[in-house]
């Protein structure tokens, strides 16, 4: 089981950290805070660059914490937070399948993050090496995930769609 959790953490954490690096640093073909911020502004997240940095940090930090197995459920909870915002602000209107821009991939990221959060970081983790059990008990995991869900929906509800321009004359 420890090897399976390690593989899941490496793949999910590494992929999400890289995805966050696209938003934060323009790495791996990403458009950085300015380009991602412009896209976020079109979605109603204003100021766009601020929301882009927040999303990038959630993915990058959540991914790294998950990758290294540090901080118990905190990394997976950050992944859940960012993926829920992505689903409800971009993907849900496009159906399920990722090929159509749907929520399949972010949904799978959430499922993997939840599995890691509830299974724990395993014996091949920084938490295990340090003897830490932070945010690892089921009650603590539920609290971390619950906070992530609440913060995600606060983000979604913070969107401000552009007002239609009314011409004069």
pLDDT digits (tens, 9 = 90+) for 32-72: 999 999 999 999 999 999 999 999 999 999 999 999 999 99
Rounded to an integer, what distance in angstroms lies between the CA atom of residue 75 and that of residue 71? 7
Residue of 80, 84, 90, 73 lying closest to 153 (CA atoms) = 84
Rounded to an integer, what distance in angstroms lies between the CA atom of residue 34 and that of residue 144? 30
Domain spans of the chain, in order of start: 2-157
What pLDDT does residue 161 have? Answer: 75
Q: Which helix (H) or strand (E) holds 20?
A: helix 2-25
Q: What letter would DSSP give residue 105?
A: H
What pLDDT does residue 148 have? Answer: 98
pLDDT band at 167 (very low <50, low <70, confident <90, very high): low
What pTM, to 2 d.p., does this model score? 0.93
pLDDT at 22 over 90: yes
The per-residue pLDDT for range 115-146, each reduced to its tens digit, is: 999 999 999 999 999 999 888 999 999 999 99
As given in the structure block, the two tokens for residue 162 are 């552009």
What pLDDT does residue 30 have? Answer: 95
């Amino acid at each position: 089981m420890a090897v399976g959790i390690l593989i899941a953490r490496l793949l999910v954490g590494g992929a999400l950290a890289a995805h966050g690096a696209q938003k934060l640093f323009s790495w791996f073909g990403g458009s950085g805070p300015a380009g991602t911020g412009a896209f976020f502004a079109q979605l109603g997240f204003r100021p766009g660059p601020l929301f882009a940095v927040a999303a990038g940090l959630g993915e990058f930090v959540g991914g790294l914490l998950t990758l290294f197995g540090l901080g118990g459920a905190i990394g997976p909870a950050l992944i859940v937070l960012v993926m829920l915002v992505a689903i409800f602000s971009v993907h849900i209107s496009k159906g399920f399948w990722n090929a159509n821009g749907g929520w399949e991939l972010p949904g799978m990221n959430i499922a993997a993050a939840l599995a890691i959060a509830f299974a724990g970081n395993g014996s091949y983790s920084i938490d295990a090496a340090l003897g830490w059990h932070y945010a690892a008990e089921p009650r603590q995991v539920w609290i971390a995930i619950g906070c992530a869900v609440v913060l995600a929906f606060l983000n979604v509800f913070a969107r401000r769609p552009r007002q239609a321009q009314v011409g004069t004359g």
